Chains A and B, each alone.
Chain A
Amino acid sequence: MKAPKKVWGRRDCSGECCERMSNTAGPASADARVLTGPEKAPTGIKGFDEITNGGLPRGRPTLVTGAAGSGKTLFGIEFLVRGARDFGEPGVLLAFEEAQDDLVTNVASLGFDLEQLENDGLLAIDAFRLDPAEIIETGAFDLEGLFIRLQMAVESVGAKRVVLDTIELLFSALPNEAIIRGELGRLFRWLKDRDLTVVITGERGKLGNLTRFGIEEYVSDCVVTLDHRVEDEISTRRLRVVKYRGSLHGTNEYPFLITEKGLVVVPITSVGLTYEASNERVSSGIPRLDEMLSGGVYRGSSVMISGTAGTGKTSIGALMADASCARGEKALFFSFEESPEQLIRNMASIGMDLRRWVDSGLLLLEAVRPTAFGFEEHLAMLHRLLDEHEPQLVVLDAVASLTSAGARADTTSAISRDLDLLKGRGITTVMTTLTHGESQESSEVDVSSLVDTWLLLRNQESNGERNRLLFVIKSRGSAHSNQVREFVLTDDGAELLDVYVGPNGVLTGSERIEQISWEHLAQTTRADETERRRQELAQRSAALQAQMAALQAQLTAEGAEFDRFVASEAEGRASGVAVRASQGRERSGEQAGGGR
């Protein structure tokens, strides 16, 4: 039994469901019963197996329908080739449209070597020549010849997969529709009885019919439509799973590409929102910006740098690539505006040497005009470069340029697919995007809600000059500075400086410098005053000290005087006693001696 899935926000319900489920299943059968839909045969087509949760229904027919040139045959052939090569399932191709030689040549450009596969006994091709000029219907018939050939082909390789490339052509070659319908019914039963996984291609009919001759009636399990349309002179191929009996599948129209490695379906939601979130931070290459973002941006997150023309978006992008290379991590710089040489030269002017990274193979500079291709090709290119270069950081310089390659809504979807792709791989992404005057806080291509960190660069015009300001508008999952910084590009790189906020607003550039020098002057003046006062104090203190010394001396002198006085007084008292004594004696002598 499937593990009960946690349903966010509906906890009470999920608990109930679990109980009910375990009751019906019973404890004993809990391990034995596995709930699965129809078994699937992987196509090996990039992205397709993801939107169909595993591929085409095994042992059943799938109808692939689309207009001429929409890639139906390629879809079928890739299904066979990958089956034979990667999944050990040999296949049979019954071609009604093209001669065998043509087929072999046509798919060789996609890297599919049909001849080799035939020689290896993994593939049998039987091309039917249906030339209406050659065929005359003269009465009742059946398609036993087709069955005989199909059986021979299936048995010769032990086929598990069959592609009928465009069996509808039978209807044009043989006019008796009733017979053909009956025989097709028999054919599909025949195929089903042998558990063959079948792809039938069909040409899209008029008036919204899936096929011209209604062969969808034989195919009830899975229907895929391919579309090739041109909008704004840019072609886009799209794929849609119209129907998939017994299986969940993505129902959107997915762009797909025909690349040199086969088809690539680009599901916008292929990675969903399930990618891992790294807690590691990587440096932006500007120390003060890292501080503003509490340590840098998260690895694998997406950073958008928006700003008007000439605000230094590309420079920040290049700085981040530079920082990545300096860490020894590969980076890819995808430029829609400048050539690699131009970029290297321009970045050298702010003291950044990108060439050494290019030479050492750490940095890949890829420049392409946005108008050169449609979105799919851009995506295909990105895919290929990611596979080849395996970067850990990707800079997409000026994604808004992509709008010149198609409608705006398409650009948004293309970019969100880019982001999905990159996030799914854990690659840190830096996008720059151009904004215009009024819409500075909404990005040109409406992807601001998709990015994790958004840096806004703005030109501040004052005092006859323009200066760059940098804001961190958002940074998911991390504290970030709410302050504005002045962003200065110097010969030695980029710096972020504190701006001065005063009564007249934010001061930048020469005003800031003026402010600095004014403050410096004021500080100097204050320092002088302090020194003067200090000296004054010292002098005064010295004077007072001297005074104190003098007074002390005076005090000492007065003390000495007093001592002398006390001493002399004691002496005087002593002599007085002696005098009195002698006087007494004298008086008594007078008395005794008879006086003078």
Chain B
Amino acid sequence: MTADLSAPRWALTLYVSGASPRSAEAIETVRRICDDDLAGQVDFTVVNAADHPDLVKRDHILALPTLVKHSPEPLRQLVGNLTDVARVRVGLDLDLATPVTRPPSRIPDEGALS
């Protein structure tokens, strides 16, 4: 556990394809996790893959939707619409998160790019 709670420990990028139902589901799921588990500890970005092929290449994205966990280490790609909650939690290392005691903050809007 880290002492510095001001800097977000989680850096997540969700690659989606436009407004597909699967992508919408994934965005919804990640939002919920950010609110419920990672409030104040996450930097979350949603990228529409078709608009940013360079980022898709940089992050080695193959499937959509894919949630990339840049930090904490190790780097991980969560492929799919994130319906398998148990695997998502493991994949994001949510057990490392500080339990949320206050309302969520620092969650950018869908589609915004940092």
Chain A interface (Cβ < 8 Å from any Cβ of B): 126, 128-130, 133-146, 148-149, 151-152, 170, 173-174, 176
* Nearest CB of chain A from residue B72's CB, rounded to whole Å: 14
Q: Determine if B17 is an interface residue (Cβ-Cβ < 8 Å).
A: yes
Closest 3 CB pairs of A and B: A139-B80, A139-B83, A145-B61
Q: Min CB distance, B113 to chain A, in Å?
A: 16
Nearest Cβ on chain A to B30's Cβ, whole angstroms: 11
Question: Which A residues lie within 8 Å of B80 (CB)?
Answer: 137-141, 176
Contact of A135 among B53, B54, B79 (CB under 8 A): B79
Tell me which of B50, B66, B87 contacts A141 (CB under 8 A).
Answer: B66
For this complex, into which size category does the number of interface residues on chain B fall?
Answer: 20 to 34
Can you list 12 A-B pairs, Cβ within 8 angstroms, ordered by A?
A: A126-B57, A133-B74, A134-B75, A134-B77, A136-B91, A138-B79, A138-B83, A138-B87, A139-B81, A141-B81, A149-B61, A173-B62
Chain B residues whose C-beta falls within 8 Å of the C-beta of A126 in the assembled complex: 57
Produce 1/0 per residue, B25-64, CB < 8 A to A. Answer: 1100000000000000000000001100110110011111
Contact A138 B76 (CB under 8 A): no
- In the complex, the answer to whether A144 meets B64 with C-beta atoms within 8 Å is yes
Known: A144-B63, A145-B61. A137 touches B56 (CB 8 A): no
Instruction: Choose among A138, A140, A176 the residue that contacts B78 (Cβ–Cβ < 8 A).
Output: A138
Asked if B10 is at the interface of the complex by the 8 Å CB criterion, the answer is: no
Cross-chain contact A138 with B62 (CB below 8 angstroms): no
B84 in the interface, Cβ–Cβ < 8 Å? yes
Say whether B90 faces chain A, with CB atoms less than 8 Å apart. yes
Chain B positions 70-101 with a Cβ under 8 Å from a chain A Cβ: 74-84, 87-88, 90-91
Residue picked from B63, B67, B78, most chain A C-beta under 10 Å: B63
B64–A142 contact, CB under 8 A? yes
Q: Is the pair A145, B49 in contact by a Cβ cutoff of 8 Å?
A: yes
Highest count of chain B CB atoms <10 Å: which of A129, A130, A137, A176 = A137
> Given the complex, which residues of B lie within 8 Å of A145, measured CB to CB?
15, 49, 56, 61-64, 66
* Bound Cα distance A149, B65 (Å): 15
Residue of A nearest to B54 (CB): A152
B residues at A contact (CB < 8 Å):
15, 17, 22, 25-26, 49-50, 53-54, 56-57, 60-67, 74-84, 87-88, 90-91
Q: Are A174 and B79 in contact (CB under 8 A)?
A: yes
Shortest distance between the CB of A125 and any CB in chain B (Å)? 11
Interface centre among A145, A152, A173 (most CB of B within 10 A): A145
Q: Is A148 a contact of B49 with CB atoms below 8 Å?
A: yes
Instruction: Give complex CA distance A202, B95 in Å.
Output: 40
- Report the nearest B residue to A143, measured CB to CB: B63
User: Could you list 16 further interchain pairs (A-B, Cβ under 8 angstroms) beyond the known A146-B62, A146-B63, A151-B53?
Assistant: A128-B60, A128-B62, A134-B77, A136-B76, A136-B79, A137-B79, A137-B80, A137-B87, A138-B83, A139-B83, A139-B84, A140-B80, A141-B65, A141-B66, A141-B79, A143-B63
User: Within the assembled complex, what's the spacing in Å between the Cα atoms of A87 and B50?
Assistant: 32
CA distance A145 to B15 in the complex (A): 9
Contact A142-B17, Cβ < 8 Å, known A149-B56, A152-B53: yes
A328 shortest CB reach to chain B, Å: 60
Which of A138, A148, A173 is close to B82, meaning CB atoms less than 8 Å apart?
A: A138
Residue of B nearest to A142 (CB): B64
B74 contacts which chain A residues (CB < 8 A)? 133-134
* Inter-subunit contact A148/B56 (CB<8 Å): yes
**Could you tell me the distance between the alpha carbons of A138 and B68 in the complex, rounded to whole angstroms?**
12
Known interface pairs A141-B22, A148-B49; A136-B64 also in contact (CB < 8 Å): no
B contact residues around A140 at 8 Å (CB):
22, 80-81, 83
Instruction: Find out whether the CB atom of B49 lies under 8 angstroms from the CB atom of A144.
Output: yes
| Known A136-B87, A138-B84; contact A144-B57, beta-carbon cutoff 8 A | no
CB distance from A98 to the nearest CB of B (A): 14
Is B57's CB under 8 angstroms from A138's CB?
no
Contacts of B56 in A (CB 8 A): 145, 148-149
CB–CB A144/B78 < 8 A = no
Q: How far is the CA of A173 from the CA of B60 in the complex (A)?
A: 13
- Residues from chain B with a CB closer than 8 A to the CB of A130 are 62
- Give A135 to B80 CA distance when docked, in angstroms: 10
Shortest distance from the beta carbon of A156 to any chain B beta carbon, whole Å = 10
Residues of B within 8 A of A142 (CB): 17, 22, 63-64
Residues on the A chain within 8 Å of B87, using CB: 136-138
Chain A residues with CB under 8 Å of B76's CB are 134-136
Q: Determine the chain B residues whose CB is within 8 A of the CB of A152 once the complex forms.
A: 53-54, 57
- For residue B60, which residues in chain A have a CB less than 8 angstroms away from its CB? 128-129
- Residue of B25, B53, B67, B82 contacting most chain A CB atoms (<10 Å): B53
